[in-house]
Structure 1
Amino acid sequence: MSATPVEITPETTVEIIAGVDTHKDTHHVAVLSRSGVRLGDRQVPATAAGYDELVVFIASFGTVRVVGVEGTNSYGAGLTRQLRAAGVPVIEVIRPKRAQRRRGKSDPIDAFAAAQQVLADLETGDLPTPKSADGSVEQIRHLLAVRRSAVKARSAAIQQIKNMLVTAPQHLRDRFEPLKDPALIQTLAAIRPAPATESVDAAVSRSLRILARRYQHLTGEITDLDTDLDILNKQTAPAPAAAYGLGTVTCAALLVTAGDNPERLRSEAAFAALTGTAPIPASSGRTNRHRLNRGGDRQANCALHQIALVRWSHDPTTRAYVTKLRATGKSTKDILRCLRRAIAREVWHLLVHPEPVPEIDDLRPLRHSKGLSLQTVADHFGVWPAVISRLELGKTRNDDLATAYRNWLLTA
């Protein structure tokens, strides 16, 4: 039941707190004074006009200190942008736990609970800042979501092709099943079957061709999306995009987790908790250890895991670190946890305190002027030629190798 609004005279200036319970079609806002007195609540439609009505409503009670919004990156995204455009401070409010909701649930109850949580956080100074969702990272987020669905659909297509070949007529199975995936897709996409209504063979062949062409179309979509993501990554955060082991997709996933305003992450420990890499104590009795954290953003955690695997396989510094941890008796899981935590720390610094990406445009001309091949350089540094090529093209970043490479070229 809505609270009875307190009458505010024009001469009275009250600092107020607001909480918003968001839904797809409507939002419910509740207003409290700094002392916790309920001043009023209202339901508004989740439209631009409704957002304007909400802003006017809360401002009618006094000076707005802060507004807490549930789901700032889902149902409350539009309202959050509108409040910020109006100059109203916004913080993220976590939806109440199930135990709290057992005492009763309605839109006004949830809205006042959100406002009370904001008031409590205001006293402790623990005000979580939501993502701004109004910059290039928001572009990356949408493209990355589409890419993930395209990858899933492509995997489903190739899996369906192989399942269909298991029960296909024997001559089709003998012809296509031995082929590797690239040749299989290319061959199936080029066949010219008879109309599907003529026979079982024709229906199976046409189905296989449709699936192969679907696979090719989705591959083209993914390639185009990767190109756009790579450009946006380098424009948005050149330092993380150039870091060793961060590919197009892993970098994009970490940028989405940090948001357009990574400065909201007050410490590298906060970013570690957000990405699910903060160690959790798991000690008991004589056992003193930590376990993997299974909370946080799982997409970001997966990206950090992939980066850790790449560095473990190819980065000498990481290999030395792994050897050191292994000597202390740590298991593979513990080592990967430590690697993810260290990479999360590095990424946070690259996001919040980015360093200029060193120029590498002079490396290839210098090598050409010395008449050296990629193989010669690779043999000198003990790496694959592709590593030197990608370094020269700026596709991967390795500051130590780039500096050593440049010094060697200048003295060779």
Structure 2
Amino acid sequence: MVIIGIDPHKSSLTAVAIDHDGTTVASRRFVVNAGTATALATWSQRWTERRYAIEGAKGLGRGIAQILVAHGDDVVDVPSTLAMKVRVLSTGGGRKTDPDDARAVALTALYHRDLHRVHREDQSTILRLLSERRDDLTRERTRALNRLHQLLRELIPGGVPTGLSADKAAAALRGIRPASVTDACRRDLAKDILADLRRLDANIKANEAQMRDAVAATGTTLPEIHCISTVLAAKLLGHVGDIGRFPSADHFAGYTGTAPLAASSGERTRHRLNTGGNRQLNSVLHTVAVCQARDPGPGRIYYQRKLDEGKTPTEARRALKRRLANVLYRRMRRDQQAPLPAAA
């Protein structure tokens, strides 16, 4: 088995092939263009048994990784942080070149058997794209609202109440009579921002409709869980992808950052808060935990039990997040085994 490590860049990629002993057997740099995949495949045909290891297969390496997977090749994703550590250890210092990076990627795949295998993009990729688009739209809408609040505060004594919407802003603008040329400019700018706000509201609404259809196409039952909306379900499915890549609920909890980390030393046994993991998934679990701790139901009962045990509200909420990670893992594993709904 030959492992071909690939260090991708925007305009080029470097491939280094190593054998089972870690010895470099070939190396080549490719210019990124329409024929890169063909050139790479032709160069690697000499090895009948091969595996591609690509650094950042969901980032700069996404294009070549998807092409190779579509051709039936075995491809694994190598995290850049892990490859960096292997490079430093294998070179004995901080020397960094593209061939060194590609070789480190190959060595990482040689010695780490639990790397994520790259699969063809599917419905989860669509959900992730839609979820990221919604986040972008929401941030833009927040900025527009803040700017609109500022202008209205300068035009209206005391400004306008919180909870501003496009309709409320339009009503406020209709009652403004500029006292100077400067105020007239402020009013015109506020009208422009109001138009941006209405456009963003329409885009967010269209995005939610797309997200609703995409979630329904997966056949997931996540929205049946209390406090998990279509938007949260889309973010969960988009960032988790194939739930089967997590061998247990504990592994999934570690990925979401809800499992505490062991920090024992000597005879002292302790754990600390996990500030790593996928922060998008951690944010979803936090939102669901806050909602379930507030509303009547199993989540509220569990949260209250932790409070009765002497935990602080923050500690009780973290415990609820950890429990929710188990619930979501089991639900997604069950959904994965269920047949998809028939197309209409």
Note closer, same or farther for the CA distance 1:187–1:78 as it changes in structure 2 (3 Å cut).
Answer: same
Q: Which residue of 1 aligns with 2:183?
A: 201
Structure showing greater Rg: 1
Q: Which residue of 1 aligns with 2:320?
A: 339
2-side partners of 1:99 and 1:58: how far apart? 24
2-side partners of 1:179 and 1:103: how far apart? 53
**2:259 paired residue among 278, 282, 285:** 278
**2:103 paired residue among 96, 104, 112:** 112
What is the SS of the residue equivalent to 2:156?
helix
Gaps of 5+ in 2: 340-344
- Greater relative contact order (Cα 8 A, min sep 6): structure 1 or 2? 2
Alignment of 1:264 with 2:252, yes or no, is no
The answer as to whether partners of 2:7 and 2:15 remain within 8 angstroms in 1 is: yes
Aligned-pair CA distance for 1:73:
0.4
Aligned-pair CA distance for 1:287:
7.2
Aligned-pair CA distance for 1:158:
1.1
The answer as to whether partners of 2:69 and 2:120 remain within 8 angstroms in 1 is: no
Alignment of 1:64 with 2:49, yes or no, is yes
C-alpha offsets along residues 265-323 of structure 1, whole Å, 9 cap, x if unaligned? 22222221221112113457997553321101111110110011111111421121112
**2:26 paired residue among 31, 40, 56:** 40
2:171 is aligned with what amino acid? T
Q: Which residue of 2 aligns with 1:187?
A: 171
Within 5 Å, give how 1:1-400 maps onto structure 2: 15-60=1-46, 62-95=47-80, 96-97=83-84, 100-101=87-88, 102-121=93-112, 125-130=113-118, 132=119, 134-166=121-153, 168=154, 172-174=155-157, 177=160, 181-182=164-165, 184-188=168-172, 199-259=181-241, 261-282=242-263, 289-354=270-335
Note closer, same or farther for the CA distance 1:330–1:286 as it changes in structure 2 (3 Å cut).
Answer: farther
What is the SS of the residue equivalent to 2:30?
strand
The answer as to whether partners of 2:8 and 2:14 remain within 8 angstroms in 1 is: yes
Note closer, same or farther for the CA distance 1:51–1:190 as it changes in structure 2 (3 Å cut).
Answer: farther
1-side partners of 2:176 and 2:302: how far apart? 56
Aligned-pair CA distance for 1:165:
3.1
The answer as to whether partners of 1:188 and 1:209 remain within 8 angstroms in 2 is: no
2-side partners of 1:339 and 1:148: how far apart? 25
The answer as to whether partners of 1:44 and 1:51 remain within 8 angstroms in 2 is: no
2-side partners of 1:315 and 1:97: how far apart? 48
Note closer, same or farther for the CA distance 1:35–1:158 as it changes in structure 2 (3 Å cut).
Answer: same
Aligned-pair CA distance for 1:191:
7.2
1-side partners of 2:192 and 2:270: how far apart? 53
Q: Which residue of 2 aligns with 1:369?
A: none
Aligned-pair CA distance for 1:128:
2.5
What is the SS of the residue equivalent to 1:270?
helix
Note closer, same or farther for the CA distance 1:119–1:154 as it changes in structure 2 (3 Å cut).
Answer: same
C-alpha offsets along residues 344-365 of structure 1, whole Å, 9 cap, x if unaligned? 11212222222769xxxxxxxx
Aligned-pair CA distance for 1:37:
2.3
**Percent of pairs identical after alignment?**
25
Alpha-carbon RMSD across the aligned residues, in angstroms, is 2.6
The answer as to whether partners of 2:257 and 2:275 remain within 8 angstroms in 1 is: yes
C-alpha offsets along residues 117-157 of structure 1, whole Å, 9 cap, x if unaligned? 11112xxx323224x35111111122222211111111111
